[in-house]
A and B are shown apart, each in its own frame.
Chain A
Amino acid sequence: MKNIFASLLLAAVSLAAVDTQSSAPGKAVGNPSAPMTIEVFSDYQCPGCKALADEVLRPLKTDYVAKGKIYLIHRDFPLQMHPHARQAAAYANAALRVNKYEQVSAEIFRQQSVWSANGQLDAVVAGVLKPDELKKVRALLTDSKLLAEIEQDVALGNKHNVRTTPTMIVTHKGRQYPVAGVVNYGILSKFLNDLLSK
């Protein structure tokens, strides 16, 4: 009962705080005033999200984000069907507090098949953190503010009508374009160039 009440309270706080552009620093890369924003709604336990991160987001960061064309925001959208996804998101968000978000996030994806099978996320995260950082991260896992941030991302996803992961919401000149699933980088690149040329 207490847990249900806490979840409801978190969801209420999150919904009230929903803002499409806001994101914890570190979960977003690039120039916030770039002409285009892409929000990636992702679940650490979803194989498609790992494929998107490896095959699409990596070159996208080099070709667009680093050149100031795109502001890329990671949004957590752990699905109910994935029992460890929320905990993985909590580890990544906690790592943000010790400035190791990128490393931890990448490691969680890299070892997805391992922890998805055994649930041993702590061992995966321990591989890329110093002992003092790991201690801080562990302590943050139950932090209500951190959990509220994940709920805020989920609420934002629901507002965008996200039903599946990965889903990218491309925003350009006030218009939003949802792109679901793992897509070919070549075609995505053509689409982005076409929008940016307008």
Chain B
Amino acid sequence: MRRLRLALRLVLAAVFVYAAYTKLRQPWLLFALSIDSYQLLPQWAVLTVARTLPWFELVLGLLLASGFGLRWVAALTSLQLIIFFGVMLRAYAKGLGIDCGCFGAGEALTYKTLIRDGLLTAGAISLTVMAFKSQKTSS
């Protein structure tokens, strides 16, 4: 159980740090265009999310790697991934021919993206459950 928790934590940490890195190394307005193509948010919100999300992902990734405050960090990670998954599912169902925007520009949103994001979401939820259970056991 501990090994599985460690593995999940490190995989999610790596994914989040990499996702942040790919977004931060490109012009932030290019990421804004990716967000905008989902046709969900008004312009001011698109620009705000594009400015802040990569840094938020970076912080989450580093916190996951450190293991600090794992219960809440894992819960936040799960929440973020659930939102991403829902948004992607909606875009896919609507047939929007867009980029995923997950790891920078240039990756089309396909069923493979949905499977990958679904697995990451399941992993994050499992990690959250394990983190809360282990807290109960130790207290």
User: Interface on A for B, CB 8 Å cutoff?
Assistant: 46, 48, 161, 163-167, 177-184, 186-188, 190-191, 194-195
Contact = CB atoms under 8 A, between A and B. Distances in A.
A191 B29 contact: yes
A190 B37 CA distance: 15
Contacts of B27: 177, 191, 194-195
A163 B108 contact: yes
Contacts, number: 64
A187 B97 contact: no
7 contacts: A48-B97, A163-B108, A163-B110, A177-B105, A181-B37, A182-B39, A190-B29
A178 B105 contact: yes
Nearest to B39: A182
A191 B32 contact: yes
Given A180-B99, A194-B27, A187 B106 contact: no
A164 B33 contact: no
Given A163-B108, A177-B30, A187 B98 contact: no
Contacts of B37: 179-183
Contacts of B46: 184, 187
A48 to B, nearest CB: 6
Contacts of B134: none
B99 A181 contact: yes
